[in-house]
Amino acid sequence: MPNISTETVCFVIVKAREFDVKVAPEELDDGSNPTDDDMQRILEDYADDPTYEELRSFLAAQSDDDLKELVALTWIGRGDYGADDWDEVLSEVPDVRERHTVAYLLGTPLLADYLEEGLSQFGLSCEEFELGRL
């Protein structure tokens, strides 16, 4: 069973979802139609995205144990392991500071979905946390 607080995991889930929702580039002022290249860039990542920076800073401030558990929950949520394998999963997570774990988590597609599924494997959810943030 994870020792990391559900609120911490839920904060990561909420921020990861916020970051995953991209903003369409601004319309051209001259009223012309966007080109094919512009259409391919409808959903863009911005290096200075404040939500990304908030999530990165939050993850960087977490303890090694919490980062390890976030990775373990991600792997369980992805289906690599089951909840019964918790101790084994934790032993498989490499040293979090040497392996750039924050970058690994931020670069994980569907991170929010995997963490949410990982929590659900332990009978936990973010329902109360999300209700409190609305």
Residue 10: inside a domain? yes
Provide the pLDDT for residue 69.
97
Residue 70 has pLDDT above 60, yes or no: yes
Residue 133: predicted pLDDT: 56
93 falls within a domain: yes
Domain that holds residue 75: 6-133
* Number of CB atoms found within 10 A of residue 14's CB: 17
Query: How many residues are listed for the chain in this entry?
Result: 134
Residue 27 has pLDDT above 90, yes or no: no
Query: Does a structural domain hold residue 1?
Result: no
Tell me whether residue 129 is in a domain: yes
Confidence of residue 31 (pLDDT cuts 50, 70, 90): low
The encoded tokens of residue 100 equal 């750039």
User: What phi and psi, each to the nearest 5 degrees, are found at residue 126?
Assistant: -100, 10
- Is there a domain that residue 122 lies in? yes
Q: How far apart are CA 133 and CA 53, in angstroms?
A: 19
What is the pLDDT, as a whole number, of residue 40?
39
What was the pLDDT predicted at 15? Answer: 92
Mean residue pLDDT across the chain: 82
**Domain total for the chain?**
1
Q: Is residue 20 part of a domain?
A: yes
- pLDDT score at 46: 52
How far apart are alpha carbons 25 and 44 in whole angstroms?
Answer: 8
Q: Which residue has the tokens 């929950």?
A: 73
